[in-house]
Amino acid sequence: MKTINVIVSATALSMCLLLPVAAQAQDAPRQQVSASPFLIMYKYFNVEYEHRATTATTWGLSTSFVPGHDADYRNVGAFWHYYPGGRALQGFYLGGRVQVHHGSSSTASATLGGVGFELGKNWIIGKRTLVGLGVGVTRLFGGPLEGDSLTLPTFRIANVGIAF
């Protein structure tokens, strides 16, 4: 009987100590999906998925598409973010990005590679609403550049999404 009391007491004590930690871990979002509602007004469609890898880092995938009357543009990329504050998906981040860009018109098309970095900040408002801003630079290479490269600024203009 004494052994059962010790086991029950140890289990109860463990639950009291571990449940708040588990509850806190569940409160921290593990991923987010977002897009820019403002860019849609200009027929620029983007979507981004970001997943927490550690307490301070994330990895993600993004894509965008701009349809045109005579030409289209699209890209797809992967990124990695480091959150110095130690709260992945929340606060200031810096990171790197690798992308493939493709443009086409009725007379020509080109596919280019891209490598870049970015700085930004995410806010989680309430329990699930994510708002993010960011800026960066991407260097394009390959395709018709024939050994040259082209550096472009990048902007993450108020992505709004869901963190879960």
What pLDDT does residue 8 have? 39
- The answer to whether residue 133 is domain-embedded is yes
Q: How many domains does the chain have?
A: 1
In the numeric block, the tokens 């020509």 are attached to: 108
- The answer to whether residue 71 is domain-embedded is yes
What pLDDT does residue 26 have? 55
Task: Please report which confidence band the pLDDT of residue 145 belongs to, taking 50, 70 and 90 as the band edges.
Answer: confident
Task: Please report which confidence band the pLDDT of residue 20 belongs to, taking 50, 70 and 90 as the band edges.
Answer: very low
- Rounded to two decimals, the pTM is 0.80
Q: How far apart are alpha carbons 122 and 113 in whole angstroms?
A: 27
What pLDDT does residue 134 have? 97
- The answer to whether residue 139 is domain-embedded is yes
CATH number at residue 84: 2.40.160.20
Mean pLDDT score of the chain, rounded to an integer?
Answer: 86
Q: Report the percentage of the chain scoring pLDDT > 90.
A: 71
Better-scored residue on pLDDT, 91 or 9: 91
What pLDDT does residue 3 have? 42
pLDDT digits (tens, 9 = 90+) for 74-132: 999 999 999 999 999 999 999 999 999 999 998 999 999 999 999 999 999 999 999 99
- The answer to whether residue 146 is domain-embedded is yes
Kindly give, in sequence order, each residue whose CB lies less than 8 Å from that of residue 11, ignoring residues fewer than 6 positions away.
none
- The answer to whether residue 70 is domain-embedded is yes
- The answer to whether residue 5 is domain-embedded is no
What pLDDT does residue 21 have? 40
Find residue 163's DSSP bridge partners: 32
Q: How far apart are alpha carbons 69 and 89 in whole angstroms?
A: 37
H or E segment at 26? helix 2-27
Task: Please report which confidence band the pLDDT of residue 54 belongs to, taking 50, 70 and 90 as the band edges.
Answer: very high
Q: Could you tell me the end-to-end alpha-carbon distance of the chain, in angstroms, rounded to an integer?
A: 45
Is residue 7 over pLDDT 50? Answer: no
- The answer to whether residue 14 is domain-embedded is no
What pLDDT does residue 17 have? 41
- The answer to whether residue 40 is domain-embedded is yes
Domain that holds residue 128: 29-163
**95 close to 81: Cβ distance less than 8 angstroms:** yes
